[in-house]
Amino acid sequence: MNGMGGKKPKRKGTTTKLGYNERHAKSGISTVLPDIETFPNQYKGYEITIVIPEYTAICPKTNLPDFGTITLHYKPDKACLELKALKMYIHAYRNIGIFYENAVNRILRDVVASCRPVWAKVTGEFAARGGLRSVIEARYPE
């Protein structure tokens, strides 16, 4: 039993009771951000973990700031991420409205496009808000 007398809840379009819509859902996905530069990798068979404890962005619905830690773990192939360029890329999120899930997946997409790693994982651990804390993880390849 689902607690609703056996009836399934009805879904009405893409807008929720809270007023979230497709515009909110897509916010920040295609915003132009600084390039993540790379440098040629000189070694094989090792992994890199980068922890970014000062991630900030804006909630696309409420315009309130979001805070979190982004952890990037990857195995480089022919190129490594240049850290200053990565820092400038991450700091650019401060001014865009984007949901946690979209930010983590966008960061993964942009890292993969930049350095073409053997594999990569991006984890976003976001500060509690309203009594809830979120951890989002995205991997390449899936």
Q: What is the pLDDT along the chain (142 residues), one digit of tens a residue?
A: 445 455 554 444 444 556 778 888 888 889 999 999 999 999 999 999 999 999 999 999 889 999 999 999 999 999 999 999 999 999 999 999 999 999 999 999 999 999 999 999 999 999 998 889 999 999 999 8
* Rounded-to-integer distance, Cα 52 and Cα 5, Å: 47
| Residues known to be catalytic | 59, 66
> Contact, 59 vs 25, CB < 8 A?
no
Give the pLDDT score at 103.
Answer: 97
Binding positions for substrate: 81-83, 100-101
Q: What residues make up the domain containing 66? A: 35-140
Tokens of 22: 């497709």
Binding positions: 81-83, 100-101
Query: Does 15 fall in a domain?
Result: no
pTM for this predicted structure: 0.85
* Rounded-to-integer distance, Cα 111 and Cα 48, Å: 13
User: For the chain, how many structural domains are there in total?
Assistant: 1
> Contact, 140 vs 120, CB < 8 A?
yes
Question: Which CATH number characterizes residue 105's domain?
Answer: 3.30.1130.10
Query: Does 13 fall in a domain?
Result: no
